[in-house]
Amino acid sequence: MKNKKLRLGLPRALFYYYYAPWWETFWQALGVEVVVSPPTNKEIMDLGVSLAVAEACLPVKIYYGHTAWLAGQVDVLFVPRLVSVEKKSFICPKLMGLPDMLRAAVKPCPPIIDTVINCVRQPQEGLAAAVEDMAGRVGFRGREVQSAREAAQERYLCWLERQQMGRANGATDLTSASAAGAAVSETGKPGLIDSAPAQAGSLKVGLVGHAYLIHDRFLSMDIPAKVKKMGGEITLPENLPPDQIALACRQLPKRLFWTLGQKIMGSVLSLIEQDSIAGIIHLTAFGCGPDSLVGDLAERYARRRGTPFLLLTIDEHTGEAGVNTRLEAFMDMLPRRYSA
Ligand code: SF4
């Protein structure tokens, strides 16, 4: 049954940082009230850690916290079961079982729209089927779904373009391309990375990692702002053209089949080819299976090319002082290496 007052919860974690403009625009175009959980804070993290299994990586634990925060406030939660978002590549297996794990852990848990998104064989058909399914679960069909999808796609592409244009200063305004984003974030501000121009003479640094780590200011301890304060000018994976990342990945002897792994690896391979890049920081989560392989591979390629590489692994116990010390040491060393 169509319900214009349906309140749909969108956890501000994991793939929210990749698809927020699309999802928010789509549901709002259908007349649904979208409620986004607030930016991550200690309360949300502690909630997630208390509900999730100990083996889960930190971003997954955080997702539990956001879901639990929303649970009592919405009619339905949107937690798509992400299998694949592009041809011949997969999303981390931990995300496939997320809806089931949340139902078991979050009590009481509202109904979950857990549409399977699987584009591994036929991306267009897979996406179309997913869109029909997610809208159909709450009674929307036909032309209005098509219109909402078109609006979402337009907003999403515009947002991607803006991210790439932010290359010079690492700006990746998550929600400004989505007017909806700011409006639906009922409690808390949209997650923005400082987009003020870098100072003259600043060192160019690549900051790679999952968007849900880098753009979550609480999780990342605002590393982008810290680097900038220390005189760095950041380039993020989101600032690089996807074609450039894909091309860089072709030099690998074997194709990586994780979408996010390809993005990180391709970004590193692309950045180390640029003489203007003084060093690379890889932000990763403790307990991340794909990153344990991709991170090691990325570091080997960077070292082979002579590019300084700093691996920062975070979990719920990571102290900010230790991160600051390592960052400062890395940033202090860069001018000497860069000018040598
Ligand atoms: S890719 Fe890594 S950080 Fe992301 S959900 Fe999977 S295990 Fe967690």
Least confident of 43-47, 179-183, 221-225, 320-324: 179-183
Paired with 206 in beta bridges are: 235, 280
Taking CA atoms only, the protein residue closest to ligand 1 atom 2 is 288
Amino acid at 292: S
Least confident of 21-35, 78-92, 179-193: 179-193
Mean pLDDT of all residues in 291-300: 93
- Residue 177, pLDDT above cutoff 70: no
Task: Tell me what pLDDT residue 316 has.
Answer: 84
Atom number of ligand 1 nearest to Cα 93: 6
Task: Tell me what pLDDT residue 192 has.
Answer: 38
Backbone angles phi, psi at 296, to 5 degrees: -65, -40
Q: How sure is the predictor about 340, in pLDDT bands with cuts at 50, 70 and 90?
A: low
- Residue 186, pLDDT above cutoff 70: no
- State in Å: Cα 266 to ligand 1 middle: 17
DSSP string computed for 99-140: HHHHHHHSSS---EE--EEE-SS-HHHHHHHHHHHHHHTTT-
86 contacts 41 by C-beta, under 8 angstroms: no
- State in Å: Cα 16 to ligand 1 middle: 14
Q: Domain locations in the chain? A: 7-165, 198-339
Mean pLDDT of all residues in 247-259: 91
Atom number of ligand 1 nearest to Cα 95: 5
- State in Å: Cα 290 to ligand 1 middle: 7
Atom number of ligand 1 nearest to Cα 284: 3
Task: Tell me what pLDDT residue 176 has.
Answer: 36
- Residue 170, pLDDT above cutoff 80: no
Least confident of 35-44, 252-261, 265-274, 330-339: 330-339
- State in Å: Cα 145 to ligand 1 middle: 31
Q: Return the H-helix or E-strand segment holding 10.
A: strand 7-10
Taking CA atoms only, the protein residue closest to ligand 1 atom 1 is 92
CA–centroid distance for 291 within its chain: 14
- Residue 223, pLDDT above cutoff 90: yes
Which residue, 314, 309, 323, is CA-closest to 281?
309
- State in Å: Cα 284 to ligand 1 middle: 9
Give 99-140 pLDDT, tens digit per residue: 999 999 999 999 999 999 998 888 888 889 999 999 999 999
Task: Tell me what pLDDT residue 210 has.
Answer: 95
- Residue 311, pLDDT above cutoff 90: yes
Taking CA atoms only, the protein residue closest to ligand 1 atom 3 is 288
In angstroms, rounded to a whole number, what is the distance separating the alpha carbons of residues 262 and 245? 8
In angstroms, rounded to a whole number, what is the distance separating the alpha carbons of residues 92 and 38? 24
174 contacts 20 by C-beta, under 8 angstroms: yes
Strands (E), 199-294: 203-209, 232-235, 277-285
Q: Return the H-helix or E-strand segment holding 82.
A: strand 81-84
Q: What is the CB < 6 Å shell around ligand 1?
A: 57, 59-60, 92, 94-95, 210, 260, 285, 288-291
232 contacts 329 by C-beta, under 8 angstroms: no
Task: Tell me what pLDDT residue 194 has.
Answer: 45
The proportion of the chain whose per-residue pLDDT surpasses 70, expressed as a percent, equals 87
Cβ atoms < 10 Å from Cβ of 93: 11
Distances (CA, A) of 282 to 18, 208, 268: 18, 5, 9
- State in Å: Cα 171 to ligand 1 middle: 23
CATH number of 7-165: 3.40.50.11890
Please give the structure tokens belonging to residue 122: 């036929």
Least confident of 89-93, 106-110, 335-339: 335-339
- State in Å: Cα 208 to ligand 1 middle: 14
Task: Tell me what pLDDT residue 174 has.
Answer: 52
Edge-to-edge order in the sheet of strand 7-10: 33-36, 7-10, 76-78, 112-113
Task: Tell me what pLDDT residue 269 has.
Answer: 97
More confident residue, 126 or 19: 19
Intra-chain end-to-end CA distance of the chain, in Å: 68
Which residue, 262, 245, 216, 242, is CA-closest to 42?
216
- State in Å: Cα 59 to ligand 1 middle: 7
Top CATH class of 198-339 equals: alpha beta
Atom number of ligand 1 nearest to Cα 213: 3
Task: Tell me what pLDDT residue 200 has.
Answer: 56
- Residue 35, pLDDT above cutoff 80: yes
Task: Tell me what pLDDT residue 198 has.
Answer: 52
- Residue 57, pLDDT above cutoff 70: yes
Q: Tally DSSP H helices, then E strands, for the chain.
A: 14, 10
- Residue 16, pLDDT above cutoff 80: yes
In angstroms, rounded to a whole number, what is the distance separating the alpha carbons of residues 64 and 53? 10
Pocket test for ligand 1, best of 16, 57, 264 (most atoms within 8 A of CB): 57
Mean pLDDT of all residues in 274-292: 93
DSSP string computed for 25-70: HHHHHTTPEEEEPPSP-HHHHHHHHHHS-TTS-HHHHHHHHHHHHH
Mean pLDDT of all residues in 209-220: 95
Which residue, 207, 203, 235, is CA-closest to 221?
207
Distances (CA, A) of 55 to 79, 135, 189, 211, 225: 21, 33, 30, 21, 30
* Per-chain mean pLDDT for the chain: 87
Pocket test for ligand 1, best of 220, 288, 294, 312 (most atoms within 8 A of CB): 288
- Residue 262, pLDDT above cutoff 60: yes
Same fold, 7-165 and 198-339: yes
Task: Tell me what pLDDT residue 180 has.
Answer: 32
Mean pLDDT of all residues in 261-281: 95
- State in Å: Cα 215 to ligand 1 middle: 15
More confident residue, 295 or 340: 295
